[in-house]
Amino acid sequence: MHTNQIKDDFPFFKDNDLVYLDSGATAQKPQIVFNAMEGYYKKYCANIHRAAHGLGNKATKEYENARHKVAEFLNAKTKDEVVFVSGATEGINLVAYAYVKENFEHVIISSLEHHSNIVPWQIIGKALHVIDSKKDLHVDLENYESLLKTYPNSFVSLTQTSNTFGVTLPIKEMIKLAHSYGCKVLVDAAQSAVHKRVDVQELDADFLVISGHKLYGPTGIGALYIKEELHELCKPFKGGGGAIKEVSYESTSYMPIPYMYEAGTQNIAGAIGFASALEYMKTIGFDFINKHEKELIEYTHEKLLRLKDVITYSDTKNATGNISFNIKGIHHQDLGILLDKQKVQLRVGHHCVQPTMNALGIEGTLRISFGIYNTKEDVDTFFKALKRAIEMIRG
């Protein structure tokens, strides 16, 4: 399959002459996603799990079919292990309040975490313990085991792939080690699931979160995987219609998971669009995705190292999905503005990992993040624009 053929599937690139290198923030959407969501709104728009009429039954069927497709994508044992949430951030917050708050005192995280995997633990008042990183930003596994020994039976919450530096943690090994010390583990796969196959059973994850908009689906939808054995230990999170069995003024009994966590009217069109995006990814296949993105990363790495005064912070040659860097003596925001003027879109700033940036002694970076629609020509255009931006600033 040729990348230009893939690009043709995305209306964004027909309507814009931009080089888009910010898929780590949100990916563009293929036409199939718009078709699926429009189909719901135009042909069978109704609420789910409530009506006896045909439209309601059709909407419920498609919504639950979407849950099945997400479960299949993650290789969950059953679709009931998949809860629809607004995104990875809500998924982590849900776990914080519904499971961690009453069961754990200590939370262990890596030094590469997004703010959404730091702030929720602070809000519920847990002691945070941060795993040391090596110079290339990979986790120090000896320090990790030392923390597990010091704080056994804790909760561990880890990103699988850094949203900023493309570093991928040895997550399967880290989960196995955590379990040996009686810990439970949440995996933030928001950045990894779009680049590599995520198998919750193979990983033996207890919880895992993904965001639809990073997987070529719509915004405002994501999924939380909860291992079936933990369902009875999870408490209600939000109350309302759809989440309950019976309500009286004295007490309430709840539906089982996943419905206990889907109170109120859900993002029905979003779930249906999300499922279509996953089906689209299935047609592309991870073999192609892995090969294509590896070529882009290596190509970018080679061109990056030819730049004068470039500063990198991790192993950019073997990064997953994204590369971060700076140019010595030039603020990343200034470069970002000049790149935008040349119709090259990428992200600059702290990328919601301020503690990591502080540890590196920097305010932020420029970040290139790839999607399946990006090409080597996009990379060439980026570097041409970057060199021009540097010349404009330095004179």
Give the active site residues: 352
CA 60, 61, 66, 70 torsion: positive or negative? Answer: positive
Find, among 121, 141, 122, 120, the residue nearest to 131 by Cα: 141
For helices 141-150 and 171-180, give the axis angle rounded to 10 degrees.
20
Beta strands in 237-281 (DSSP E): 244-247, 252-254
Cβ atoms of 319 and 167 closer than 8 Å: yes
Which residues lie across from 322 on neighbouring strands? 369
Find, among 191, 133, 203, the residue nearest to 162 by Cα: 191
Cβ atoms of 258 and 84 closer than 8 Å: yes
Cβ atoms of 70 and 226 closer than 8 Å: no
Q: Is 2 exposed, middle or buried (0-12, 13-18, 19+ CB in 10 A)?
A: exposed
Q: Is 78 exposed, middle or buried (0-12, 13-18, 19+ CB in 10 A)?
A: exposed
Cβ atoms of 222 and 82 closer than 8 Å: no
Other Cβ atoms closer than 10 A to 322:
29
Give the C-alpha separation, 335 to 341, whole Å.
Answer: 10
Other Cβ atoms closer than 10 A to 123:
12
| Residue 97 DSSP symbol | I
Cβ atoms of 296 and 330 closer than 8 Å: no
Cβ atoms of 368 and 297 closer than 8 Å: no
Cβ atoms of 3 and 327 closer than 8 Å: no
Q: Is 268 exposed, middle or buried (0-12, 13-18, 19+ CB in 10 A)?
A: buried
